[in-house]
Each structure stands twice: as C-alpha cells, then as structure tokens.
Amino acid sequence: MPLPPLILLYLIFLIPICSSSAAAEPLPHQSHFTKHKFHIKNDNKSDSYQQYFEITRPLPFDTLIPSCTLPVFSHDFDNTIGLPPATTDYSPPTNCTWTHVSLHLSVASNGSQYDRIAAVWLDGAEILRTSTAEPTPDGVFWNVSKDLTRYSSLLRQENITLSVMLENVVNDVYTGVYRLNLTFLYYDTDSNDTSSEGFNFPLSLFPLNRKSTVMKWEENPVISTMNREENSLDLYENPADLIIPVSGNGDEGFWFRIEKDSDVKYKGIQIPSNTYKAVIEIYVSFHGNDEFWYSNPPDSYIEMNNLETKRGNGAYREVLVMLNDNVVGSVIPFPVIFTGGINPLFWEPIVSIGAFDLPSYDIDLTPFLGMLLDGKKHSFGLKVADAISFWLVDANLHLWLDDNLKEVQAMAIEYSFPSINLERESKFHELDGSFEIEGKRKSEFSGWVNSSMGNLTTHVHKKLKFENTIKFHNNGTQKVVKQQVKVKWELRVESDTGNLISRTIVKRKYPLKITSSTLAGSEKNNYLMITNLEHSLTEEKSNGNSSSSLVNSQQSSGWMFVQDHDVLSGAATTHQSYTYKDDIGYYSRIVSAANGELGNDTTSFLCSSSL
Ligand SMILES: *[C@@H]1O[C@H](CO)[C@@H](O)[C@H](O)[C@H]1NC(C)=O
Ligand SMILES: *[C@@H]1O[C@H](CO)[C@@H](O)[C@H](O)[C@H]1NC(C)=O
Ligand SMILES: *[C@@H]1O[C@H](CO)[C@@H](O)[C@H](O)[C@H]1NC(C)=O
Ligand SMILES: *[C@@H]1O[C@H](CO)[C@@H](O)[C@H](O)[C@H]1NC(C)=O
Ligand SMILES: *[C@@H]1O[C@H](CO)[C@@H](O)[C@H](O)[C@H]1NC(C)=O
Ligand SMILES: *[C@@H]1O[C@H](CO)[C@@H](O)[C@H](O)[C@H]1NC(C)=O
Ligand SMILES: *[C@@H]1O[C@H](CO)[C@@H](O)[C@H](O)[C@H]1NC(C)=O
Ligand SMILES: *[C@@H]1O[C@H](CO)[C@@H](O)[C@H](O)[C@H]1NC(C)=O
Ligand SMILES: *[C@@H]1O[C@H](CO)[C@@H](O)[C@H](O)[C@H]1NC(C)=O
Ligand SMILES: *[C@@H]1O[C@H](CO)[C@@H](O)[C@H](O)[C@H]1NC(C)=O
Ligand SMILES: *[C@@H]1O[C@H](CO)[C@@H](O)[C@H](O)[C@H]1NC(C)=O
Ligand SMILES: *[C@@H]1O[C@H](CO)[C@@H](O)[C@H](O)[C@H]1NC(C)=O
C-alpha cells in the first residue's frame, strides 16, 4: 500500500519496529480490537456526541408524517452479560390507521467498549439484527431505520412481548454502557399528509404508491383474490398473514447458538392448512472463532505451524435450512464486519455494510407446501455447515393464507438439492502457502398449490457459486483473502395450463478482498498492521417488466499499531459508493471518511421521468 509521507513518518518515529522477526507467534490472523487506549480525537472539541452511520437509502415513506408514533422501548445495557433479554409489552397504537411501519433505533454510548451484537424480537420472531459502534470517551451515537411492513401481522397483535438482547460487559476497563431507544412509526400511505420539511425525497421513487393494494389494517383483514394474484409475484411486497418464529425459547435470546457442524436446531411447527405461500427468512451473525470465517485457514496449517489461533476449519460456511431432515434451502451469508473487526479505525464514522442492519435472507418454501399441509407438526431445522463456535441463527416462517378456503391442496413435484461440490486445494511450506476452495450447486424445487387462485405450480431454481482463496507470504506476515459469492435465483409461477403467471429473477454477488501485512513490534504481542479492504454487495432483481439494482461498495485502507487487542495508534480512510435504481428512479450516495471525519459526501436522486 502506498503510504502517504506523513504516515511513514509516524511509522519511523513512533513505532518501535524490530528489524528481525522477534515475535514468537506470528500474527497473520484477522482479529477483533478495541480502541479503548486510542481513538482519533476531533480537534474541534465539541460537547456533542459524534454520529456514526451505515450508508443506505432513505425509506420510501420517510417524508410522510407518521399517523402514530410509539416509543416502544428504552433501556440502558450495562453489565448485561448472562442475563435474559430486556422485555416490554407491545400493543399497536389504538385508533390509528396505518399501512406501513418503520422502526427507529437510536443508540448512544460513551467510555470504552467492545462492539456488541444485538437483536430485537416481537413475540419470538426476529425483526432486527444489529451490532454496535465502539464508543469513545467523548461519546458516539447512531440512528437506524428499518421498514417493518413485512411484519405487519405481528405488529397488529395486542399484548405480545418485545425483547431486546445486547450482552455487554461493564467494569473498570470497559466502561461504555449502550443506551438504547426504540420507536415504531406507523404510516398511512393512503393519506396525503406529506412533510414539507427537510429532505424532500420524491415519494414516487419507490414502489409504494404504484398500486393501491397495500394492506390496510382491519380487525379481520380480508385479502381479495385480485390483490393476491398480483402480489404473490413479489416476495417482498405484500406482508404475510401469519409469521411463525423458528427460534429458541428466549432465556438467552431467541436465537439459536450453533457451535459446530453437527449442531442442528429444530422447532416443530404446524402450519394452517389454508396456506398457499410460504417463505422462510433467515437471520444470522458469526462470532468468536468464526467471526472472520472467510479468512480461516485449514487446521493442518495451524497445527503444522504450532499456532495458537483457533480460527480454523477452512473458509467455507453455509447456513442450511432443514425440513423433516431434507435440506430445503441454504445461504452463504454476506460477510458483515463488525466495528471492532479487521481495523476498527476503518469504521469511524461510517460502519461496514450491514453492521447496523444485518441483512436477512428469504427462501421460498412454497414448493414444499405439499409436505406441510397435512395438519401435523413438522420440524424446521437450522444448521451451519463447517461451523466452529459460534453462530447466532434463527428464522421466521412467513405464511400467506387463503381466506376463501379451509384447506388448500398441494404437492411437491421436484426436489433436487445436491451436496455442494467443494474442491479444496492446500499448499503450504511453514508459514507461507495458499488455500483455495471452490464450490457450486444447482438446486431445483417445484410443487403445485391448488387454492382459490387456481392450481399454480411454483418452480424455484437456484445457482450458487462460492470461491475463496487465502494466501500467506513473507513468512506468514502478509495475508491476502479473496472471496466471491454469486447467487442466481429464479422463481417461476405457472398456471395448470402451462401459462407463465410470473417470473422473478434475483442475482446477488458479494466479493471481498482483504490484504494485510504485519510487522512485529519490540515487545511481545505488539505489532503494526497495514490493511486494505474492498467489499461490495450487488443485487439485481427483475419481476416481469420491473427491475431494480443495488451496488453498495466500500474500500478502506489504513494502519494501526496494536498491543494484544488494543489499538494504540493508527490512521485510516474509507470510501463508499451506494447506488440504487429502479423503474421509478435513481438514488446514489458517495461518501468518504478519513481518520474519523466525514469528507466528501454527495447524494443524488432522479425520477425516471427526468432520466
Ligand atoms: C474545525 O472547525 C473548522 C471550522 O468549522 C473547520 O474548518 C475545520 O475543518 C474543523 N477541523 C476539524 C479537524 O474538524
Ligand atoms: C379515533 O379517531 C377518530 C378520527 O380521528 C376520532 O374522531 C375519535 O375520537 C378517535 N377515538 C378515540 C377513542 O380516540
Ligand atoms: C432516549 O429517550 C430519552 C427520553 O426521550 C432521551 O432522553 C434520550 O436522550 C434518548 N436516548 C437516545 C440514545 O436516543
Ligand atoms: C459518560 O458521560 C457522562 C456525562 O458526560 C459522564 O458522567 C460519564 O462519566 C461518562 N461515562 C463514561 C463511562 O465515560
Ligand atoms: C436520531 O434519533 C433521535 C431520537 O429519535 C433524534 O432525536 C435525532 O434527531 C436523530 N438524529 C438524526 C441525526 O437523525
Ligand atoms: C390486552 O390487554 C388489555 C389490558 O390487560 C386487555 O384489555 C385486552 O383485552 C387485551 N387484548 C387481547 C387481544 O388480549
Ligand atoms: C388528497 O388531496 C387531494 C387534493 O388536495 C384531495 O382532493 C383528496 O381528498 C385528498 N385525499 C385524502 C385521502 O386525503
Ligand atoms: C382445486 O381447488 C378448487 C378450489 O378449491 C376446487 O374447486 C377444485 O376441485 C380443486 N381441484 C382439484 C382437482 O381438486
Ligand atoms: C518465520 O517466522 C517464524 C516465526 O515467527 C520464525 O521462527 C522463523 O525464523 C521465520 N523464518 C524466516 C525465514 O524468517
Ligand atoms: C395441478 O397442476 C399440476 C400440474 O399441472 C397437476 O399435476 C395436478 O394434478 C394439478 N392438481 C390439481 C388438484 O388439479
Ligand atoms: C410488460 O411489457 C409488455 C411489452 O412492453 C406490455 O405489453 C405489458 O403490458 C407490460 N406489462 C405490465 C404488467 O406492465
Ligand atoms: C474528496 O474528493 C477529492 C476529489 O475526488 C479527493 O481528492 C479527496 O481526497 C476526497 N476527500 C476525502 C476525505 O476522501
């Protein structure tokens, strides 16, 4: 990495680098850090906390005035380690007309602290997975907004429990308490009250007002067959009628903790016999020795070199969804990097893609309804192939019900889920070497469902390609990790006469490249690490005539001087570009941060009429 001259000066004068490799243990492994001994100070000392961000696009209804605002939860997470989640009662606001709901989370913290994982559940169903920024003595805060409309069936229920889990350790060293407020905002998109203040985002940019099929809250919602036919085409657009969590009992949070490949967490679920569509939504995060699973070398390398690290078992992981012992879907998760990861100075004040709102993953289970509509309990299971400790995984089963029928009939036609064909190639001599994994899978499922909409056959085809390479050079002090995940997934619905009713294609790619060089310092366990990181998330969706695309990418580079897990000094820059396009418009934000300060920040949006 070409270091600017100023940084080189720092390296020369501030850091006691040894010319020979004095450290007993090489330090080539991605790790997790705190900044409690160092943070980049803002010269313009102000009393206000610094704001942190995850770059994303505004919600489509951000400019509407909410018809109701419900401050639902407020809690200070101090020394909460080992405690059950904090809970509160939830009921929707009374006398409120709404079609859409968003969550607004605001968190503040000062002192020093590790980053922490957190989740919010409503009646045991997860609605947000998030992680925290690491605070500074001067204080940091951030706000997260998320569209919760897809959870409308839960949000309509009275007297249910909202739970928030955030295990934190507060002692003399780690002083940061996370103070957290959660508010639900309810919007009626059928009303005209648009805000005239602030960022006047064109509402028409997003698919909200395109059709008037948004579900209105009613005591006993009636979904007309007309709407259903149209809406069954898009997984994301119309909320399910019922959501059943595939989650734990809640004492330690509702997520399942998965520690090894053989852990399978099951839940028995009986679904209503008038279900005509089913989608399972997976929430997942990785921690401990698998926090950087994509950079874990095989155990043979660790053992042969007598390394202390437990971050091993190679670099392939896959979350598998089981139904009665058959695998019915899988996810290789986007590698979300928490704010203490790789180099924590990268994530000030712009956090990594997904860090404040981790993505969840949908798998259409409609082709399997034939196995589920017999009025009996079936086991839904979650596991993580090749996992080491630990993963936090749970899921929500979203079900759409036919209210014209007590029972719909269904049958699975085709099931093909071959095991992933992994090719692994390892070559190493002492600490230098190269490890490659490549895998591909094509899976195909289909089944028909005869409901009041007719006898429709759903075909799901999915292609997955996974490539990971880890290389060590310079006696193990330079490490290069490259990963590519590509998924293409096609959902076709046909009538019994063979007419194509709908076709949805989703393509997702998430490449990652990390290059890091380590120089041992003069004392045990101190070292200098220089790192470059590039990663992105690209998604293209098409459904009939409409399409959308998202390209979200980050490039970071910097150095840090580290003692054990504490950053002692360093410098970093992060550049991010976020572009979203659909038939109606275009939104883009390009932003840079250097040493904790936001630099260039350009936002643009256009409506397609002006494109
Ligand atoms: C401090 O504030 C001044 C005036 O607002 C600004 O020009 C300068 O860039 C700021 N410096 C830092 C380090 O924030
Ligand atoms: C409910 O809302 C309607 C219309 O805004 C209003 O007239 C009525 O008084 C409200 N009822 C209650 C119980 O708040
Ligand atoms: C939470 O809400 C309380 C009461 O409105 C407010 O005093 C506090 O500043 C809020 N905290 C955060 C982190 O938003
Ligand atoms: C956080 O800020 C408050 C108010 O300024 C202060 O009283 C408290 O000591 C700080 N906490 C830590 C852990 O620094
Ligand atoms: C963050 O959320 C808090 C609490 O809802 C709000 O008072 C504040 O204005 C928000 N800040 C920003 C920058 O949006
Ligand atoms: C919810 O609790 C309130 C107060 O206890 C009660 O009046 C109401 O009937 C309950 N609603 C349901 C749906 O159980
Ligand atoms: C929306 O605004 C138009 C024109 O101002 C008005 O005629 C119409 O009644 C309004 N609709 C609603 C639902 O308020
Ligand atoms: C398909 O469902 C419809 C609506 O319930 C029903 O009338 C019809 O008999 C079903 N077809 C078969 C072959 O069972
Ligand atoms: C490589 O690193 C190991 C462990 O740090 C050290 O023992 C060995 O001497 C180094 N080899 C060379 C050729 O520098
Ligand atoms: C539904 O359609 C499929 C494929 O066209 C056919 O095999 C099946 O028998 C039909 N089911 C009913 C109930 O008509
Ligand atoms: C899709 O495009 C075709 C050809 O341009 C057009 O005939 C059709 O009406 C469009 N369908 C929709 C739902 O817009
Ligand atoms: C802002 O953009 C200019 C021109 O592209 C570039 O030279 C500069 O380094 C950028 N600033 C930051 C903080 O990235």
Structure confidence by residue, pLDDT tens digits, 329-360: 999 999 999 999 999 999 999 999 999 999 99
The residues that bridge with 186 in the sheet, in sequence order, are 68, 101
Residue with the nearest Cα to atom 10 of ligand 9? 475
Does position 506 have pLDDT exceeding 50, yes or no? Answer: yes
Q: Are 458 and 493 in contact (CB under 8 A)?
A: yes
Q: Are 487 and 458 in contact (CB under 8 A)?
A: no
Identify the pLDDT of residue 18.
30
Instruction: Give the C-alpha separation, 267 to 402, whole Å.
Output: 24
Residue 334 CB neighbours (<10 A): 18
Q: 311, 487, 330: which is closest to 393 by C-alpha? A: 330
Does position 1 have pLDDT exceeding 80, yes or no? Answer: no
Q: Is 458 in the pocket of ligand 10 (CB under 6 A)?
A: no
E strand or H helix that includes residue 395: strand 391-401
Measured CA distances, 441 to 393, 438, 455, 459, 466 (Å): 22, 11, 30, 17, 9
Q: Are 538 and 512 in contact (CB under 8 A)?
A: no
Does the global pTM surpass 0.85?
yes
What single DSSP character describes residue 32? Answer: B
CA 422 to chain centre: 25
* AA identity, residue 359: P
Residue with the nearest Cα to atom 4 of ligand 11? 545
Q: Is 122 in the pocket of ligand 3 (CB under 6 A)?
A: no
Closest ligand (CA of 97): 2
E strand or H helix that includes residue 153: helix 152-155
Structure confidence by residue, pLDDT tens digits, 118-145: 999 999 999 999 999 999 999 999 999 9
Residue 564 CB neighbours (<10 A): 13
| Average pLDDT across the chain, whole number | 87
- What is the pLDDT averaged over residues 14-19? 31
**Beta strand 68-77 with 318-323: parallel, antiparallel or unpaired?**
unpaired
Ligand 1: which atom is nearest the Cα of residue 42? Answer: 13
**Confidence band for 608, pLDDT divided at 50, 70 and 90:** low
Ligand 12: which atom is nearest the Cα of residue 598? Answer: 13
Residue 187: half-sphere exposure toward Cβ, Cα within 13 Å: 23
E strand or H helix that includes residue 465: strand 454-473
Beta-carbon contacts of 295 under 8 Å, excluding residues fewer than 6 positions away, are: 29, 30, 311, 315, 470, 479, 481, 514
Structure confidence by residue, pLDDT tens digits, 39-74: 665 555 566 899 999 999 988 877 788 999 999 999
From 102, 105, 106, mutation site for ligand 5 pocket: most ligand atoms within 8 A of C-beta: 106
**Confidence band for 226, pLDDT divided at 50, 70 and 90:** very low
Identify the pLDDT of residue 208.
37
* pLDDT top residue among 479 and 31: 479
Identify the pLDDT of residue 609.
52
From 67, 189, 192, 216, mutation site for ligand 7 pocket: most ligand atoms within 8 A of C-beta: 192
Closest ligand (CA of 74): 3
- The residue extents of the domains of the chain are 5-610
Identify the pLDDT of residue 190.
76
Measured CA distances, 23 to 27, 34, 301, 565, 570 (Å): 9, 21, 19, 16, 20
Beta-carbon contacts of 325 under 8 Å, excluding residues fewer than 6 positions away, are: 379, 381
Give long-range contacts, CB 8 A cutoff, 24+ apart: 70-75. 70/183, 70/184, 70/185, 70/186, 71/181, 71/182, 71/183, 72/162, 72/182, 72/183, 72/184, 73/162, 73/164, 73/180, 73/181, 73/182, 74/180, 74/181, 74/182, 75/164, 75/179, 75/180
Instruction: Give the C-alpha separation, 292 to 102, whole Å.
Output: 31
Structure confidence by residue, pLDDT tens digits, 153-169: 999 999 999 999 999 99
Does position 20 have pLDDT exceeding 50, yes or no? Answer: no
**Confidence band for 206, pLDDT divided at 50, 70 and 90:** very low
Q: Is 405 in the pocket of ligand 12 (CB under 6 A)?
A: no
3-state SS, 357-384, equals CCCCEEEECHHHHHHHCCCCCEEEEEEE
Q: Are 459 and 367 in contact (CB under 8 A)?
A: yes
Identify the pLDDT of residue 584.
79
Identify the pLDDT of residue 38.
74
Beta-carbon contacts of 121 under 8 Å, excluding residues fewer than 6 positions away, are: 85, 127, 162, 163, 164, 165, 245, 247, 250, 253, 254
Q: Is 592 in the pocket of ligand 12 (CB under 6 A)?
A: yes
Does position 75 have pLDDT exceeding 70, yes or no? Answer: yes
**Confidence band for 6, pLDDT divided at 50, 70 and 90:** very low
Structure tokens at 138: 């001067």
Identify the pLDDT of residue 524.
84
336: phi then psi, degrees, rounded to nearest 5: -65, 130
Identify the pLDDT of residue 544.
85
What single DSSP character describes residue 150? Answer: G
Instruction: Give the C-alpha separation, 273 to 402, whole Å.
Output: 9
Identify the pLDDT of residue 94.
95
Ligand 9: which atom is nearest the Cα of residue 24? Answer: 5
* pLDDT top residue among 408 and 11: 408
Q: Is 94 in the pocket of ligand 6 (CB under 6 A)?
A: no
Q: Is 448 in the pocket of ligand 10 (CB under 6 A)?
A: yes
Structure tokens at 116: 């922490």
Instruction: Give the C-alpha separation, 371 to 200, whole Å.
Output: 49
Residue with the nearest Cα to atom 7 of ligand 1? 44
Burial of 209 (0-12, 13-18, 19+ CB in 10 A): middle
Identify the pLDDT of residue 59.
87
Structure confidence by residue, pLDDT tens digits, 278-332: 999 999 999 999 999 999 999 999 999 999 999 999 999 999 999 998 999 999 9
Report the share of the chain in percent with pLDDT over 90: 78
Report the share of the chain in percent with pLDDT over 70: 85
Question: What is the chain's alpha carbon radius of gyration, rounded to the nearest angstrom?
Answer: 25
Does position 25 have pLDDT exceeding 70, yes or no? Answer: no
Q: Is 454 in the pocket of ligand 10 (CB under 6 A)?
A: no
Structure confidence by residue, pLDDT tens digits, 421-476: 899 999 999 999 999 999 999 999 999 999 999 999 999 999 999 999 999 999 99
Beta-carbon contacts of 94 under 8 Å, excluding residues fewer than 6 positions away, are: none
